A and B are shown apart, each in its own frame.
Chain A
Amino acid sequence: MGMPIIEVKELYKTFETKDRTVEALKNINFSVEPGDIYGIIGMSGAGKSTLVRCLNFLEVPTKGAVIVEGNNLGELTPPALRELRSSIGMIFQSFNLLMQSNVLDNVCFPLTIHGMSKREARKKAVGLLKTVGLEDKANAFPAQLSGGQQQRVAIARALACDPKILLCDEATSALDPQTTHQILELLRQINQETGITIIIITHSMNVVREICHNVAIVEKGEIVEDGLVEDIFTHPKSRAAKRLIVEGKDPDYYDEVQADNLSPEIVDTLKEDRRIRIVYSTNSSYEPVIANMILNFSEPVNILYAATKDVAGVARGEMILGLSRNPETAERQIAYLEERGLAVEDITDMGWPIEGGRSY
């Protein structure tokens, strides 16, 4: 591993309100390698938006250091900080385009404020619009574009100064799943072509799963777990990680049992089950574990959810099972699965998404 492109050390951020002090971020430590796609995930209010703003000093941390390419942001003079910001692009949930300027001028904006001539800026902007697939919209105004198109313009604008880092603050949260997927694909493509480091702030495990290599899970202003997306998806340790993965704001989850024709009694019955989540690699040749388990224990198992998911580019099978009512049998069933090398998470105490409706 080389030198990290971003290093955050013992970072704290507190906000003083009239009657109390809010600790938005507590002892945050992490580093990002060049070329990585790094996810920072948490429920709303966890402090992740504050954290991303500390990475380019839109928020100045109360304590601690943010080091970008060897520059300690806290030690830079204001002009030097502004100069450095041109190497850190940023996109936002609400796109934040100049509504009174056309697409081309929006992309030119960061170039001209750093002193490029209007002519050169336009030439470069046209190329960037090509990258994001909007070369035919150069003269349109943002209000004429769809959300996905506006975010593409914002991406082109963020890339204008050839940044080494791109910060994405809930960049797909205002978009529908299809458009989200397209935007993530575009980001992945840009990452592969230019080697740009991307930091993705999101509340959606789907987004992290689809595009990130590494992830940090933020809860109540602290990083409670971080590591490879694959590892955390397979074996979440912290409660926050489990909640994000299982209860999570994942529209696909429990679709099978969401059917309106489920009577409340059935839902109640399902809720009483001992529930586990297993994750397995789909390309591993493995015995029909579930079928064998049922035969072995002569007890039915309720398959509540099953899907194959793309986890950081690797296919992973995922199942949620309702086990035997008999606690002992359930224990032995879990042991049986674990013996066969499956990652098993007990999620009995997790919320049941049917209750409050789908919360995404």
Chain B
Amino acid sequence: MFGLSPQEVQMIINGVGETLYMTVVATLFGYVFGLPWGIILTVTNKDGIHPNRGIYRTLDVITNIMRSIPFLILLILVIPITKMIVGKTYGSTATIVPLVISAAPFIARMVETSLNEVDHGVIEAAQSMGANNFQIITKILLGEGKISLIAGATITIGTILGYSAMAGTVGGGGLGDIAIRYGYYRYQANILWITVILLVVLVQIFQLIGSLISAKLDKRHI
């Protein structure tokens, strides 16, 4: 098939698996850090439900600094941390560490933007009923903002998929790794193209799933 040996086919199938593994796990861990981070940014903002200039400015600056480091450079910068957590610096599990570090501030910004879109009037209504800040976060901000959060997650997963492919340049595993080693170093154009097509297809699938979930859950347009 496409002039590939059975071993090469198997390698590409494994590559898809590794890419999915890195993307999904990194997104999940990204949200473990990024979601609370984004919530704190929203809540402590001057128009938030618990304004705190000190906390907001600190997190805001950290977010900006981390967001401005290009992923490839971050990948190298955090090698000591990766080694500490995973025990090695190559392969797909090791790549998850820089992916999470890079994704978390990105996710925080996405979450912040989504939650800021929630109608302030609804928050005010909840306050008028005596809701506390925790209830406002869980029931109003996350509940009313969920469609926008899902849209953000869809964009995030596409971005992380792209980053995971980039990690291929330093032996990160997955489709990016295959594209570099076979397509670039060995001039196997067919493998290069197949990996590119597979990456495109994966992004499309994630986007489609995200859009479907959003449309299914959104009660604003019926």
Residue positions of A touching B, CB distance < 8 A: 56, 58, 79, 81-86, 88-90, 92, 94, 96-102, 109-110, 113-114, 141-144, 154, 157, 161, 167
Number of A-B contacts (CB under 8 A): 83
- B46 at the A/B interface (Cβ < 8 Å)? no
Q: Contacting B128 at CB < 8 Å: which of A90, A94, A97, A98?
A: A90
Beta-carbon contacts of B184-222 to A below 8 Å, as 1s and 0s? 000000000000000000000000000000000111111
28 A–B contacts from the bound complex (CB under 8 Å): A58-B127, A82-B130, A82-B131, A83-B130, A85-B127, A85-B130, A89-B128, A89-B129, A90-B129, A96-B119, A96-B121, A96-B122, A98-B140, A99-B119, A99-B122, A99-B220, A100-B219, A101-B143, A109-B129, A110-B129, A110-B130, A113-B130, A114-B130, A141-B220, A142-B219, A143-B220, A143-B222, A154-B125
B147, closest chain A residue (CB): A100
Q: Is A85's CB under 8 angstroms from B140's CB?
A: no
**Distance of A96 Cα from B129 Cα, bound (Å):** 12
Tell me whether A58 and B128 are in contact in the complex, defined as CB-CB below 8 angstroms, given that A94-B121, A100-B220 are known contacts: yes
Residues of B within 8 A of A85 (CB): 127-130
**Distance of A94 Cα from B122 Cα, bound (Å):** 9
Q: Contacting B219 at CB < 8 Å: which of A109, A143, A157?
A: A143
**How far, in Å, is A161 (CB) from chain B's closest CB?**
7
Q: A58-B128, A154-B125 are in contact. List 8 more A-B contacts (CB 8 A).
A: A85-B127, A85-B129, A90-B125, A98-B140, A109-B139, A141-B222, A143-B219, A161-B129
**How far, in Å, is A334 (CB) from chain B's closest CB?**
48
8 closest residue pairs by CB, A with B = A85-B130, A96-B125, A82-B130, A90-B128, A110-B129, A96-B121, A141-B219, A86-B130
Interface residues in B7-62 by Cβ distance below 8 A to A read none
**How far, in Å, is B146 (CB) from chain A's closest CB?**
7
Tell me whether A86 and B143 are in contact in the complex, defined as CB-CB below 8 angstroms, given that A100-B220, A141-B222, A143-B221 are known contacts: no
Q: Contacting B146 at CB < 8 Å: which of A86, A88, A100, A167?
A: A100
**Distance of A86 Cα from B128 Cα, bound (Å):** 8
Q: Is A113's CB under 8 angstroms from B129's CB?
A: yes
**How far, in Å, is A159 (CB) from chain B's closest CB?**
11
- B112 at the A/B interface (Cβ < 8 Å)? no
Secondary structure call for the A interface: mixed
- B79 at the A/B interface (Cβ < 8 Å)? no
**Distance of A254 Cα from B128 Cα, bound (Å):** 39
Residues of A within 8 A of B126 (CB): 109, 113
**Most A CB atoms within 10 A — which of B127, B144, B219?**
B219
Residues of B within 8 A of A142 (CB): 219
**Distance of A84 Cα from B127 Cα, bound (Å):** 12
**Most B CB atoms within 10 A — which of A82, A86, A89?**
A82
**Distance of A90 Cα from B144 Cα, bound (Å):** 20
Q: Is B220's CB under 8 angstroms from A113's CB?
A: no
**How far, in Å, is B3 (CB) from chain A's closest CB?**
51
Q: Is A99's CB under 8 angstroms from B139's CB?
A: no
**Distance of A79 Cα from B134 Cα, bound (Å):** 13
**How far, in Å, is A45 (CB) from chain B's closest CB?**
19
Q: Is B219's CB under 8 angstroms from A92's CB?
A: no
Residues of A within 8 A of B147 (CB): 100
**Distance of A101 Cα from B130 Cα, bound (Å):** 19
B221, closest chain A residue (CB): A143
Residues of A within 8 A of B119 (CB): 94, 96, 99
Q: Is A113's CB under 8 angstroms from B222's CB?
A: no
**How far, in Å, is A28 (CB) from chain B's closest CB?**
20
Q: Is A92's CB under 8 angstroms from B143's CB?
A: no
Interface residues in B127-186 by Cβ distance below 8 A to A read 127-132, 135, 139-140, 143-144, 146-147
**Most A CB atoms within 10 A — which of B130, B131, B147, B221?**
B130
**Distance of A82 Cα from B217 Cα, bound (Å):** 31
Tell me whether A99 and B219 are in contact in the complex, defined as CB-CB below 8 angstroms, given that A58-B124, A90-B125, A109-B139 are known contacts: yes
Residues of A within 8 A of B139 (CB): 109, 113
